[in-house]
Amino acid sequence: MSKDLLIVFVKNSVLGKVKTRLAKDIGNQAAFEVYKTLVSKTKQAIQDLPIEKHIYFSDTVEETGCHNDFKTIQQGNDLGERMNNAFKDGFENGYQNIVLIGSDLPDISEDSIKKAFDLLKTSDTVFGPAEDGGYYLVGMKQLHKNLFNNIPWSTSRVLEETMKVLESQSISVGLLETLNDIDTFEDLKNSSIYKTYLHDKIHY
């Protein structure tokens, strides 16, 4: 078994239940199309990586294009608990280096994920900062569950508060480049998919 594991968190693609903050500005159908594009981008980034991949869905397992990958459902009451449980499962199954990503990144790439695993060779953890103050990627070599406790999820202070925990426990960290994840219309307007794919499809 490979010692490396990539975990991908995916929301089930249900009209009216994805990108709800974005939908307030562009409508449910357009937000749904945005999310499908983001998921497609994520699939492209991970499909050729020669490592194990576990896909964690929000509610029910979907048959996606990732036919050979393990699929399951996220467990927990909030994002922190769900991520903690996914990492816990991975380490208990014998993986040594685990990286977790979401599916909100128009610019996620195979190279970014490879670099995350490279950084784990010299750091206890790795994070991909998001422009909104959160993070789009987290990786570790052993479970540090305190990183997911008492964090103000969905705020601009997520990474800042996480860094405080890292510093207080002397946990080393490697950082990737900052990327834009898409939660709001402002995020979308500043993204590559708005300019390249969706500008003509979205009416506001």
Number of domains in the chain: 1
Q: Please, which residues have CB within 8 angstroms of residue 12's CB and are 6 or more apart in sequence?
A: 18, 57, 58, 59, 60, 62
* Inside any domain, residue 155: yes
**Polymer length in residues for the chain:** 204
Task: For the chain, give the percent of residues with pLDDT over 70.
Answer: 93
Task: For the chain, give the percent of residues with pLDDT over 90.
Answer: 71
Res. 138: pLDDT tops 70: yes
* Inside any domain, residue 18: yes
The residue among 115 and 181 whose pLDDT is bigger is: 115
* Inside any domain, residue 122: yes
Global pTM reads: 0.92
* Inside any domain, residue 204: no
**Which range of residues forms the domain containing residue 73?**
4-198
CATH number at residue 177: 3.90.550.10
pLDDT at 133: 94
Res. 203: pLDDT tops 90: no
Helix, strand, coil percent values for the chain (each to nearest 5): 40, 20, 45
pLDDT at 197: 53
* Inside any domain, residue 203: no
* Inside any domain, residue 160: yes
* Inside any domain, residue 171: yes
Give residue-wise pLDDT tens across range 38-57.
999 999 999 999 999 999 99
* pLDDT range class, residue 66, cuts 50, 70, 90: low
Q: What is the C-alpha to C-alpha distance for residues 57 and 74, in angstroms, rounded to an integer?
A: 6
Res. 36: pLDDT tops 60: yes
pLDDT at 159: 97
* Inside any domain, residue 86: yes
Question: Quick one: which of 134, 136, 149, 16 has its CA closest to 80?
Answer: 149
Mean pLDDT of 88-93: 97
